[in-house]
Chains A and B, each alone.
Chain A
């Protein structure tokens, strides 16, 4: 999917912010809900192909 374009600016990095490799992990995602995806359409078929062959997005694009 195309990247969204955001015109409001990212915040300035606070003074003194320092982390190893400039990345600070803080939390984890909330739990997810199990739902059914409709087995229909080209994007689903790509999903099914990846899932059945245990492939990732980038492998699938090759």
Chain B
């Protein structure tokens, strides 16, 4: 089956890919010679490869083929196992495996009892061994595609993957012949996938990554500063994800079936499995089109079932669930002590992020200035299902030449734990009076030090002597109540039920800067008419500040230093 036999790797050569390993799906990606990340399709042509293994008479099936075995061979089909790695049975939620091989206790780990060798022989296979087989299949697909043996990977994992889980994954991959160079967090991988695009500019921005998957949704708020990423908050939800959306369609179609025939297809395991698989396909089709059909041969009592549903109907049925996704994201922003106005970008990642309504709802939660990166809100968005794998592939290409020791040292807390600025640093424009001047941020808060930022400022029309007043800026949310203009005529029973608050005064929120500590003043003299002044702020590791200012194109300039603060507090790392 495998085309590449011995790999064609030179002694000591590392050939690394990126792997995203989800409970529902996995993806493999590599970077092209030009440094572009591409997702690899497996032999079946799938880029989202179901994280499923199934066994029939000793033969192993993987991916989509294995997933379809949920109908006839569910007992020998292992699914949704990623989160079980490195855990014991008491600490896992077995719910996702309700309709496939059940997780059971095995020593201090989780295992499945399946007939993976021959019929009638029940074997206990640990989740580690299952993972090894899964990774082996993924690596083999990648090796076939690349024509060269893959022997290493960067794997993306959730932010709450424990040390024990990481260790178990490292071991399981190693057993599959894949050396884990590094594990990176899924939301960071998604940000990196966007930042690695050639057209991307390095910019300071506050990002929310909403990774909406099949069995879980994970939200992270990330400060992106000069191309470096610091996670400010994370949240995880196991009840608001793709499986719940599937269930809504399962229930809908089951009820429709019951109207015509007496049987409830959900009562029979096989019928339910068929209906679930088809409902998921219908759900995906509804992300693309306004209508989708569903057809199941012999759904129950030997009766075939066919139906259609339009997107409007689906969005009505799933309205509450969609609202839950919005709330999840809103809560994550609050958890980071931020306001929606602080968010520059929302990156939608994971398969469920294809759902148009989920992203258009976010357009209403966030101000128009927030970019919502999803297929239905931005034509240039990257396929959300591929983001983690792409990010992992980019990281793999960056570090695959490194010595193991270098990678370990670079990822050590000695290097990664760094002071982050509590407040922004900027310069007052228009007036030097702290009450009247407008604060313009040069360095945003939550920037890791050391850092350096510069700004080029205009001067008064006639030029002359100007003052540069460097201050800390504290972001404030100003709320003004505007009395709502009376709506004409037939108010109440109007269309949109969401807009009940139209009756009340409208609140307008805006982001404003309050001037905090004044840090320094500097003068630049005799700036010529139409001239510009460049101000550079350099913050050292010890929080000492160096400020330089000069007329653009002029000579000389001013330079000064500020001492480090007398004491440094330790925040939460």
Q: Is the CB of B567 within 8 A of A23?
A: no
Q: Is the CB of A36 within 8 A of B430?
A: no
With A and B bound together, what is the CA distance between A35 and B450 in angstroms?
A: 13
Q: Is the CB of B458 within 8 A of A52?
A: no
Interchain residue pairs A-B with the least CB separation, the first 8: A43-B227, A33-B571, A23-B560, A32-B419, A13-B465, A3-B454, A48-B410, A31-B569
State how many angstroms separate the Cβ of A40 from the closest Cβ of chain B: 5
**Complex interface: stretch among B73-81, B284-292, B513-521:** B513-521
- Return 22 A-B CB contacts under 8 Å, by A number: A2-B201, A4-B442, A5-B456, A6-B429, A7-B458, A9-B429, A10-B427, A10-B533, A12-B464, A26-B518, A26-B520, A28-B563, A28-B564, A30-B421, A32-B422, A38-B229, A39-B411, A41-B195, A41-B394, A41-B398, A45-B410, A48-B409
Of A12, A39, A49, A52, chain B has the most CB atoms within 10 Å of the CB of A39
With a CB–CB cut-off of 8 A, which chain A residues contact B459?
9-10
**Complex interface: stretch among B131-139, B181-189, B488-496:** B181-189
- Give 20 new A-B contacts, CB below 8 A, not counting A28-B566, A40-B395: A1-B204, A1-B226, A4-B453, A4-B456, A11-B431, A25-B562, A26-B519, A27-B518, A29-B472, A29-B564, A29-B565, A30-B472, A31-B422, A34-B420, A38-B184, A38-B185, A38-B228, A38-B416, A48-B409, A52-B415
State how many angstroms separate the Cβ of B426 from the closest Cβ of chain A: 10
With A and B bound together, what is the CA distance between A39 and B431 in angstroms?
A: 41
**Complex interface: stretch among B89-97, B113-121, B245-253, B432-440:** B432-440
With A and B bound together, what is the CA distance between A45 and B196 in angstroms?
A: 14
The binding surface of chain A is classed by DSSP as: mixed
B375-406 residues at the A interface, CB under 8 angstroms: 391, 394-395, 398-399
With A and B bound together, what is the CA distance between A39 and B432 in angstroms?
A: 40
With A and B bound together, what is the CA distance between A38 and B467 in angstroms?
A: 38
Q: Is the CB of A8 within 8 A of B543?
A: no
With a CB–CB cut-off of 8 A, which chain B residues contact A33?
419-420, 422, 446, 569, 571-572
Residues on A lying within 8 angstroms of B by beta carbon are 1-14, 17, 19, 21-45, 47-52, 56-57
Whether A43 contacts B202 in the complex (CB less than 8 A), given A6-B458, A10-B459, A51-B415, comes out as yes
With A and B bound together, what is the CA distance between A43 and B516 in angstroms?
A: 30
Residues on B lying within 8 angstroms of A by beta carbon are 182, 184-185, 188-189, 192, 195-196, 201-204, 222, 226-232, 391, 394-395, 398-399, 409-411, 413, 415-423, 425, 427-432, 437-438, 440, 442, 446, 448-450, 452-461, 464-469, 472, 516-525, 533-534, 538-539, 543, 545, 547, 558-573
With A and B bound together, what is the CA distance between A17 and B522 in angstroms?
A: 10
State how many angstroms separate the Cβ of B320 from the closest Cβ of chain A: 34
With A and B bound together, what is the CA distance between A44 and B453 in angstroms?
A: 17
Option from A14, A28, A56 in Cβ contact (under 8 Å) with B562:
A28
With a CB–CB cut-off of 8 A, which chain B residues contact A26?
518-521
State how many angstroms separate the Cβ of A13 from the closest Cβ of chain B: 4
Option from A6, A31, A36, A52 in Cβ contact (under 8 Å) with B565:
A31
The binding surface of chain B is classed by DSSP as: strand
- Identify the closest chain A residue to B429 (Cβ): A8
- Identify the closest chain A residue to B423 (Cβ): A30
With a CB–CB cut-off of 8 A, which chain B residues contact A9?
429-430, 457-461, 466
State how many angstroms separate the Cβ of B389 from the closest Cβ of chain A: 14
Q: Is the CB of B231 within 8 A of A36?
A: yes
State how many angstroms separate the Cβ of A62 from the closest Cβ of chain B: 15
With a CB–CB cut-off of 8 A, which chain A residues contact B226?
1, 43
Q: Is the CB of B416 within 8 A of A39?
A: yes
Q: Is the CB of B432 within 8 A of A14?
A: yes
State how many angstroms separate the Cβ of B279 from the closest Cβ of chain A: 36
- Identify the closest chain A residue to B428 (Cβ): A11
Q: Is the CB of B467 within 8 A of A39?
A: no
